[in-house]
A and B are shown apart, each in its own frame.
Chain A
Amino acid sequence: MNRLVTVAEMTLRELARRRGVLLLLLLMPLTFWLIRRDSHVGQSVRALLLGISWAVSTAALFATSAARELEPRLRLAGYRPHHLYLGRMLGLWVLGLAVSVPFFLLTVVDTTNLRYGGIAVAMLCCVLVAAPFGMVIGALLPREMEGTLLLLTVVAMQMLLDPASSGAKLTPFWSSREIATWAVDHTDGGYLSRGVLHAAVVTALLIVTVAGVFGVRLRRRRHLHHAPLV
């Protein structure tokens, strides 16, 4: 547990010292929200959620790529793969929640007659999905350029697809849109339960994928045998 927490702490420390990154992490959702603010309130909330998702995924992608050289030596130093990926994910979740708090307060101040608990749940789902999603891309694509382009493609799909279409349900952040609809338009509880279920399934699938990729990349190689110390 100590190893996992140490990785989480160092991930947070590293990201917290990148002031430019932090600023952009806040700027991205804010820009999305500002652009849609004059339209229907639901549009601005959905844009805000997408901005948070994109910001946290990007941070996760770059944090994963930056740690690529370090992780093998940490593995040799006694860490197991799950300490490394779960620790990093934990750090990113905490960061994502910290980024979300001011936007939640912004929503509370700026809007009326919303289900604010639903907005909080939607933001939580965004952060929950975004961290492992960015990590999967960072782990699968070793170069940041390719990873960023893939992330851009997925988020553009998310924005452009009709949320009612079956294809939209395959996008990672569909859950936040469903929950936001429940929170803003006061629709029936099915939206909330579908959204929460989608977020839980997608998060679980992404964590399993991250575990698989890290497990393969940081595995004990068959050619290396350990003899007892004489």
Chain B
Amino acid sequence: MNADEWLRVFAAELHQRRVAVDAARHVVAEAATHLREGGGDPWLVFGAPQAYAAAIVETIGTAPGPRPGPVRLHARGITKRYGRRTVLRDATLTVRAGQIAAVVGANGCGKSTFLRICAGLISPDAGEVTVSGRLGYCPQQGGTVDFLLPDEHFVLVGAGQRMARDPARRAGRAAARQLGWEAERDVLARHLSGGTRQKLNLTMSTLAEPDVLLLDEPYQGFDQGSYVNLWDQLVRLRDEGKAIVVVTHLLNQLDRVDVVLDLTPAHQGGRS
């Protein structure tokens, strides 16, 4: 990781840890000046960007987070059976505007099923979901078209909201850039790498500016930088007042979310 990359990750870390924008800009500028004038490897000078960001937060504190707004998604008593097997039992989740909720649990505990029920793609055996505002959904896999270009995906999704073609393309490219991806104009989706394809998938779900964003393990195939960009993007969307639900198995990220729903069955030590 070179100095620029280190500074980028450091800035993203400060943002995710809710350091005030002006203070974060000042700290990053100071670190950049120090590296430029003193030279040296930022890892040797400052250490890991995450650790240095944590130290900065301890010193200067964080900006007060925006207060959660009205309830955007309320799922209550969700029960789902496949044959005799009950995959979800009485699951409940409330997410407000300006919150990120993580849905966690062991493999096969119904995380994706829960999300698909929240999106209205499948029906539960019991329970209800109330959504306030527009829904966006990013599936774990699929959801893109092999023989279409990224721009054509943006036009296709944008047309659903009656967006004209050029604004849809511009919005798609801008959203892709937030994930560190310059959406190529002439590369078919089937030729994109797994991680880039997932970025396309994610970009499509945010294009229509949803009020409630449902993401099913959206980081599959991401490298470290893309992963940081993803969380940076999610925190930015949260601060804009979106309600976000992320299915994740990366527990180390849970300190960045506001609500956790653990779907691991009780006899395996799960909690809700």
A3, A17, A72: the one within 8 Å of B160 (CB): A3
Check A69 against B143 for contact (C-beta < 8 Å).
yes
| Binary interface encoding of chain A residues 215-230 relative to chain B, with 1 for a CB under 8 A from any of its CBs, else 0 | 0000011111111111
> Complex Cα distance A220/B131, Å?
13
Q: Give residues in A with beta carbon < 8 Å to B.
A: 2-3, 6-7, 10, 13-15, 17-18, 66-67, 69-70, 72-74, 76-79, 220-230
- Provided the pairs A10-B145, A18-B147, A230-B70 are in contact, do residues A76 and B132 lie with their beta carbons within 8 angstroms? no
Return chain A residues, CB-CB under 8 Å to B137. 72-73, 76
- Closest chain-B Cβ to A230's Cβ sits at a distance in Å of 4
> Complex Cα distance A78/B161, Å?
6
Return chain A residues, CB-CB under 8 Å to B211. 229
What is the number of contacts between chain A and chain B, taking CB atoms within 8 Å? 99
Closest to B142 in A: A69
Check B133 against A78 for contact (C-beta < 8 Å).
no
Check B157 against A77 for contact (C-beta < 8 Å).
yes
Return chain B residues, CB-CB under 8 Å to A220. 120
Return chain B residues, CB-CB under 8 Å to A223. 117, 120, 123-124, 127-129
Determine the main DSSP class of A at the interface with B.
Answer: mixed
- Closest chain-B Cβ to A80's Cβ sits at a distance in Å of 9
- Closest chain-A Cβ to B94's Cβ sits at a distance in Å of 13
Question: What are 29 inter-chain pairs, A to B, with CB distance below 8 A?
Answer: A6-B155, A10-B156, A13-B147, A13-B148, A14-B145, A14-B148, A15-B147, A70-B142, A70-B143, A70-B144, A73-B143, A74-B160, A76-B119, A76-B135, A77-B136, A77-B204, A77-B207, A78-B162, A221-B123, A223-B117, A223-B120, A223-B128, A224-B120, A224-B130, A226-B130, A226-B132, A227-B131, A228-B132, A230-B132
> Complex Cα distance A77/B160, Å?
5
Among B121, B148, B208: residue with most chain A CB under 10 A:
B121
Among A67, A76, A79: residue with most chain B CB under 10 A:
A76
- Provided the pairs A17-B188, A76-B136, A220-B120 are in contact, do residues A225 and B143 lie with their beta carbons within 8 angstroms? no
The 6 closest A-B pairs by CB, nearest first: A78-B160, A69-B142, A77-B160, A224-B120, A6-B159, A227-B132
Return chain B residues, CB-CB under 8 Å to A230. 69-70, 132
Check A222 against B131 for contact (C-beta < 8 Å).
no
Return chain A residues, CB-CB under 8 Å to B205. 73
Q: Is B51 an interface residue (CB 8 A)?
A: no
Check A222 against B123 for contact (C-beta < 8 Å).
yes
Check B120 against A2 for contact (C-beta < 8 Å).
no
Give 7 new A-B contacts, CB below 8 A, not counting A17-B188, A228-B132. Answer: A15-B147, A69-B142, A77-B160, A77-B161, A221-B121, A229-B132, A230-B132
Q: Is B23 an interface residue (CB 8 A)?
A: no
Closest to A67 in B: B145
| Binary interface encoding of chain B residues 188-209 relative to chain A, with 1 for a CB under 8 A from any of its CBs, else 0 | 1000000000000000110110
